[in-house]
Amino acid sequence: MSTEEARATEGLKLGERTAGVKVCPQSPEWLNVEFKALLDFGMKSQAPLGFGYLGRDGQLIESEGMQLWINCRMTHIACVAYMRGYQKALPMAEHGLKALLGAFHDKEFGGWYSRVELDGKPSNSAASKEAYAHAFVCLAASSLVQAKIPGAQELLDLAIASQLEHWWDPQAGMVVNEISADFSEVDAYRGINAAMHSVEAYQALADVTGDESWADRALLMIDFTVDQAKAHGWRIPEHYNSLWEPDLDYNLDRPADPFRPYGATPGHGFEWARLVLQLALRRGRSDLYAPALELFKRALADGWAADGKPGFVYTTDFEGEVSVAARMHWVLVEAISAANALAQLGVEAEGLDLVALQAQWWAYAEQVLIDSPGRWNHEVNGDGEVVTETWPGMPDIYHAAQATYFPFAELPLSFSGSAAQQRG
């Protein structure tokens, strides 16, 4: 372990978060080494005008251009890394900010393009704007301000104004999903994926602004999602019409879509469980602990080895039958983080050994998903072989990096809010 990594672990006492009860099986040293390795690999995605899409060889896939969600996630993780003492992350954070105020920002109509080519021109596919990607603009902006990157407040002000003007629907208590490039026409589709990442972003906005109305908005989305999950056997409907009525057959002919897959997604069950716990603790909503556990238990029952082979399947139908059997790396690490959150809060998990589950899943990650430190296979089949039906290459470090940091984080806070507080 390097001197820098030793400093990063100094004073940390994993396993002593809940009255001396062990909550994480991995050592602080291992988690920090992997976090830094992920950052180092993510740095390879830097292009002249932003961050691009990495292939398995660590080179940019030029045909994928630069995608807003990737640019924001790389910027966010760079900020968290910088606040944790990794000085190499500072230029990465500054580069991300420049891209978000530059090539990605729509100077004519406002908001941000979903995709920009490497030469800085908006792609044809950027004809509409997306709540999912705009949520990550809020996350990146919050992290940049927390990291005290010069110029970040301008981005944060723009992101907040955009959320309030275009994305947040106060009548529904949810976010709309997609709007035309000039913001004149709102698409009828509504999606739980965009809502989930808006919950994450609004938590970060509450941290950076001190305005708890953002956390209250997040709780409205959480309450809606919990109600929907409860009505569907704790499987979360992903797709809705403009009245927020679920469409359980949406994308039946495209079950492996990366952002709008058919059926229920166990990985989102885990991710929602973690977010529910964080916001419940923040706002004193202990009534949400039991629903968070139900989301976790359903995702575990439906997802892990559902076809008899190790790993979490991507999706199921609403009877729990496997729809897409591919194993996505992000599902596994969100399961780990959700288990860690339950353990940190001391939630009684009815016979589940939350630390043993984390150990099993980290072992799977090391054996199957991690090619070498920082290089995670994004999609494998039940035999652990790399497949690319949904995710070619290694485009993103966000989920894995957050999982390696989560045991260190202050649970009520966002990742960047926690890093800023610990930095002092």
Q: Which residues are catalytic?
A: 268, 399
Who's near 330: CB < 8 A, 6+ residues apart? 267, 378, 396, 399, 400
Strand residues in 314-393 grouped as ranges (E): 315-316, 322-324, 327-328, 370-372, 375-376, 379-380
Residue 322: strand pairing partners: 316
Residue 130: strand pairing partners: 178
The string of DSSP codes covering 225-266 is HHHHHHHTTTPPP-EE-TT--B-TTTTTT-TT-SSS-SSB-H
Q: How far apart are CA 267 and CA 73, in angstroms?
A: 18
Contact of 113 with 104, CB cutoff 8 Å: yes
Residue with tokens 């939350």: 354
The token pair at 59 is 């080179």
Contact of 416 with 410, CB cutoff 8 Å: no
Judging by beta carbons within 10 Å of its beta carbon (0-12, 13-18, 19+), is residue 53 exposed, middle or buried?
A: buried
